[in-house]
A and B are shown apart, each in its own frame.
Chain A
Amino acid sequence: MESRGMNERIRKLREESTSIDPSIYIERADLFTDAYLKYDGSMSVPEMRATAFKYFMENKSLCINYGELIVGEKGDGPQKAPTFPELCCHTLEDMHVMNDRELIGFSVTEADLKLQEEKIIPYWSKRSVREKILASMTDQWKDAYGAGIFTEFMEQRGPGHTVGSTKIYEKGFLDYKAEIAEELNKIDYLKDPEALSRQEQLKGMDIACDAIIILGERYAKLAREMAESETDEKRKEELLEIAKNCDVVPANKPETYWQAIQMYWFVHLGVTTELNPWDAFSPGRLDQHLYPFYKKDIESEILNDEKALELLESLWIKFNNQPAPPKVGVTLKESSTYTDFANINTGGITADGQDGVNEVSYLILDCMDEMKLLQPSSNVQISRKTPQKFLKRACEVSREGWGQPAFYNTEAIIQELLNAGKTIEDARLGGTSGCVETGAFGNEAYILTGYFNLPKILELTLNNGYDEVAKKQLGLKLGYAEDFKSYEELYEAYKKQIEHFIDIKVQGSNVIETIYAKYMPVPFLSVITNDCIKTGKDYNAGGARYNTNYIQGVGIGTITDSLASIKYNVFDKDKFTMKELVDAMKDNFVGHDRIYNLVQNKTPKYGNDDDYADDIMVDVFKTYQGMVTGRPNMKGGTYRVNMLPTTCHVYFGEVMLASPNGRLAHKPLSEGISPEKGADTKGPSAVIRSAAKMDHLSTGGTLLNQKFTPSVVAGEGGLDNMANLVRSYFTMDGHHIQFNVIDKEILIKAQENPEEYKDLIVRVAGYSDHFRNLSKALQDEIIGRTEQNFN
């Protein structure tokens, strides 16, 4: 399809969205604190949360940016990041760090600092959830966490990373209020021991509905006021149209395509200002949701494709206007990315199993193509039923070299969800959000709890459980490298160590989950998550239809190659002894060139379709997957695994010494399920074959990166190559694949002259980011990812 290019309005809004530097929006913290000072202690926790949310919606500053068609900002303008002191309270030092650093800074004003110091910190520093969590963790947990064995997502962000119910397109919040009233009436105070708790939750949800309705009313009023003083007739008309839309949504169900988009956006603002849901809330299957409105409006001739695309682009700009809230402490300092994680799924199939690609799907691809924005992150779901035209159009957008869209396998997602106990209808309406994680959209609380460092555990296993980096005994005392007389003995010990740390991780996560259920309910998110109203339970307390906790395994390539190196060189081929290997690793391979060359270049490695290495990958995966899957969480659901790193493979590498596969000390681990850097030499088909030996269907998502230079995907033939690679991988049940189509030389130049390459966007993990915003280590990592060649 020919690209029409953005119109003038969108071009201006986009320019504004991408040129304003992010700053802190302190008003949220201020108003929430006011509400707590006024009401806390006088009502139940859920009602208090909802009341503070309502107080915020009643009093927050509003803004309608010039020319925009979809209204509402989290803050008082574009690029404003709210803070959430009830989750984690920034110290003054944190605020200086975010203001002063060169990369991804947030400007903080003197007035912000003063307010933080005099009001926010005194009230929240001892009351935040983070304080409660840190006080509840065991020393063992803290040691393992501190050493980089695992991370914890909810230490400074709430559970979220989710997608709401499709019902927001079928009913308004007045309808939700009626539903809540009905459930309140049904409470059986004679027999139900949880009657009071249900009442409190439902009342909280009811207040949350009021809050969002108030926001809509305020925007309608503001739009009318602005229309009155607007001299441009065309803009005046638009403002009146916006006012009319806000009269309808969110109080009532949307009637038009435009209102449907505005409805989503109000809901998005509600979820992401009520609490910080892991920097992410996503529209999910947007093309499916919008299609009925599109069809109706086209038929009644109040919409055409040009207008429909413009409205999509308006929504894209709203997403891009919202920077992710800044972290606190060490995480703030180390965090090398700050985009939100909204993810839009396009394509796939419908609830009754038919091809889901419609006209809006193609418009979304056009929108992605024209906008080329970091947010929202866009992906396509490719099913066996997906037309080749749609797949190739997606390849065409992807090969422009900025990493979007990513490709997801619809059939794999459905089978993953069925495997986890979802109904077929719920599974078909599911998809992936955040990075690559699978969820039953609108029906499930699926929580990423943290990353798990698989290679680090081998490092401990080879050293009697003692960590030479943290200088602490972290693991079990099962012996040193040279004590293991066979590969099998070593692997048994590795398994025991994994189990030991999974136990610690899960124990911590269970406690954290309980803290959220008790102190940090999310009544608004609960309203728009199916079954929370019916069960009278909060999203954070098991109210959703399904409840899953994920632990994300990191470094499968590194651990596979490390174990393969020991098995092949030490036990099978006697190339060198374990002692020689350990000595070489201790010296970071300096002065051990022969051993280094053997482990780097003469040893079977994952990613080459070589069963020697791939069988080990399968073993490790099964061990890890088996030890996590099925453990009960505190919300009535279970734990499952993901294999995705975001950027954590860089951090996990930093806390490690050299590995047996020749990875040098403190260098990044392999990312996702991609092979270790430079390990795959047999081309992309060998990579996908290796990766597909993992049982993707028993996970909640895996991430595979493929980098291509523009020359090899050129022309119609290049598109066919990409499309064929995607189809083949998906036939093998691969979950996800994404492409970076970038010249290595360009990246190196971009690293040297960041100013000249401000536009350069690369695929990082399950998302894209500006190359210049990435840390040097992450830039090096992307440069180093194997460049495959189609020739």
Chain B
Amino acid sequence: MEKAIVLNIQRFSPHDGEGIRTTIFFKGCGLHCTWCHNPESQSYKKEVMVFEERCKQCGYCIEHCERNALREKEGKIVVDREKCVMCGDCVENCPYSALEMAGEYYTTDEIVTEAKKDMIIYDESNGGVTLSGGEVMSQNIDFLIELCEKLDRHGIRVNIDTCGLAPAESYRKIVRYIDTFLYDIKTINEEIHRNHIGDGLEKILDNLKLVNDLGGSINIRMPIIGGVNDSDLEIDEVLGWLIDNKISVKQINLLPYHNTGSGKYDRIGKEYKGKNLEIPSDDTMERIKNKFAESGFNNIFIGG
């Protein structure tokens, strides 16, 4: 049976659409936002994470790794990601839980089993499952369709949280299974996109139009990054685009940037490139919220 790589299954998650939900975070994303607070969700492969603060440098992992993929460098455990085959022995046996594995393979049935556990809570709260990531839409679409069909058989409703960077065909296929798309828009400025996010702006916007044209229900989620996309100019551009393209928006969540993810980069041996990003002030958030409201949008929330 085909499997997909999942980073985490988060139960009792109230912020990913209506009601209380179980959110499935798939691993792997085509974008590399400088502010990403889940850098371990970017790679499509499993990764060993090193929690430096827990490590007591006992050397157990170095001694026992059959691939010699672990070594000490300046008092820290470093994973040689070329050599590591993600067997998980070090994770299992580290006496201090200083090593953890990001990513695990799941079949659709295994995901459904987890999702079904909170059916009573979905019923009480009008909740359901949210497929998120990483970028869930960049996973194998046949796997996702099968998953949606199985969830539907149990009456579990599905939301999709997407950045928009995935084949148009995938959106076309899945739209009829989905309650609400939580669609990220960060900017429509190509330069900002290239510098901070990566390629693919056009595709992202086309897919949003496509989902809208296919009648998909859309919530817009917009991360607000100080010094990147929080100026009136940037916001006006986004508003203008949404209006020009007649995107029907049910709800808008403005998500202020926070730097809680910065410490996570070390764990997977990556460098955090968002050191100069600014946390937007409460005033900024209110100002942006008002701009959306003035342009005729409803249900605008800060956070969530």
Contacts and interface: CB of A to CB of B under 8 A. Distances in A.
Interface in B123-141: 124-125, 127
B121 A685 contact: yes
B121 A790 contact: no
B120 interface: yes
Contact of A689 (B14, B58, B117, B127): B117
A685 B96 contact: no
A725 interface: yes
B94 interface: yes
B15 interface: yes
Interface stretch (A149-157, A371-379, A726-734): A726-734
B241 interface: no
B274 interface: no
B124 A790 contact: no
A724 B125 contact: yes
Contacts of A790: 12, 14-15
B12 A731 contact: no
A593 to B, nearest CB: 4
Contacts of A732: 120
Interface in B68-98: 92-97
Interface string B94-126: 111100000000000000000001101100110
A731 B124 contact: yes
B95 A685 contact: no
A609 B117 contact: yes
A140 interface: no
Interface in B41-90: 56, 58, 60
Given A593-B95, A597-B97, A717-B14, A724 B121 contact: yes
B96 A593 contact: yes
Interface residues of B, number: 24
B299 to A, nearest CB: 13
B280 interface: no
B94 A597 contact: yes
B15 A685 contact: no
Contact of A685 (B56, B93, B94, B118): B118
Nearest to A608: B11
B94 to A, nearest CB: 7
Contacts, number: 61
Contact of B124 (A602, A684, A724): A724
Contact of A683 (B11, B93, B120): B11
B19 interface: yes
Contacts of A721: 14, 20, 125
A732 B124 CA distance: 12
A728 B120 contact: yes
B10 interface: yes
A728 B92 contact: no
Contacts of B14: 717, 721, 790
Contact of B20 (A596, A609, A724, A788): A724
Instruction: Tell which of A597, A684, A720, A724 has the most Cβ of chain B within 10 Å.
Output: A724
Contact of A594 (B10, B11, B20, B60): B60
A597 B120 contact: no
A92 to B, nearest CB: 53
A725 B11 contact: no
Contacts of A788: 12
Interface in A235-267: none
Interface in A698-735: 717, 720-721, 724-725, 727-728, 731-732
A728 B20 CA distance: 11
A121 B69 CA distance: 77
Contacts of B11: 609, 682-683, 685-686
A727 B93 contact: no
A732 B13 CA distance: 20
Contacts of A304: none
Contacts of B19: 724
Contacts of A682: 11
A728 B117 CA distance: 12
Given A683-B11, A685-B11, A597 B96 contact: yes
B101 to A, nearest CB: 12
A596 B93 CA distance: 11
A42 interface: no
A791 interface: yes
Nearest to B56: A593
B12 A683 contact: yes
A689 B127 CA distance: 17
Interface string B24-50: 000000000000000000000000000
Given A609-B117, A724-B19, A594 B12 contact: no
Instruction: Tell which of B10, B11, B58 has the most Cβ of chain A within 10 Å.
Output: B11
A601 interface: yes
Nearest to B119: A728
B124 A597 contact: no
A609 B117 CA distance: 8
Interface in A604-656: 609
B124 A727 contact: yes
Nearest to A791: B15
B121 A728 contact: yes
B20 A685 contact: yes
A593 B121 CA distance: 39
Contacts of B56: 593
A728 B12 CA distance: 12
Contacts of B97: 597, 601-602
Nearest to A602: B92
A721 B127 CA distance: 11
Nearest to B100: A601
A731 B58 CA distance: 49
Contacts of B125: 720-721, 724, 728
A387 to B, nearest CB: 15
B10 A728 contact: no
Nearest to B19: A724
A724 B123 CA distance: 9
Contacts of A593: 56, 58, 95-96
A340 to B, nearest CB: 35
A788 B11 CA distance: 11
Contacts of A685: 11-12, 20, 117-118, 121
B44 to A, nearest CB: 25
Interface string B214-249: 000000000000000000000000000000000000
A36 B125 CA distance: 63
A791 B58 CA distance: 34
Interface string A675-705: 0000000111110010000000000000000
Nearest to B118: A685
Contacts of B118: 685, 689
A728 B93 contact: no
A683 B10 contact: yes
A593 B94 CA distance: 9
Nearest to A692: B120
Contact of A731 (B15, B93, B120): B120
Contacts of A686: 11-12, 117
Contacts of B93: 594
A788 B10 CA distance: 12
Interface in A754-769: none
B163 to A, nearest CB: 20
A725 B117 CA distance: 14
Contacts of A684: 12
Interface in B161-179: none
A686 B95 CA distance: 27
A684 B12 CA distance: 7
Contacts of B117: 609, 685-686, 689
Given A593-B95, A602-B97, A683-B12, 13 more contacts: A594-B60, A684-B12, A685-B12, A685-B20, A685-B118, A689-B118, A720-B125, A721-B14, A724-B125, A724-B127, A727-B124, A728-B120, A728-B121
14 contacts: A593-B96, A594-B93, A594-B95, A596-B95, A682-B11, A683-B11, A686-B12, A686-B117, A720-B125, A721-B125, A724-B121, A725-B12, A731-B120, A732-B120
Closest 6 CB pairs of A and B: A593-B95, A683-B12, A724-B125, A594-B95, A685-B12, A728-B121
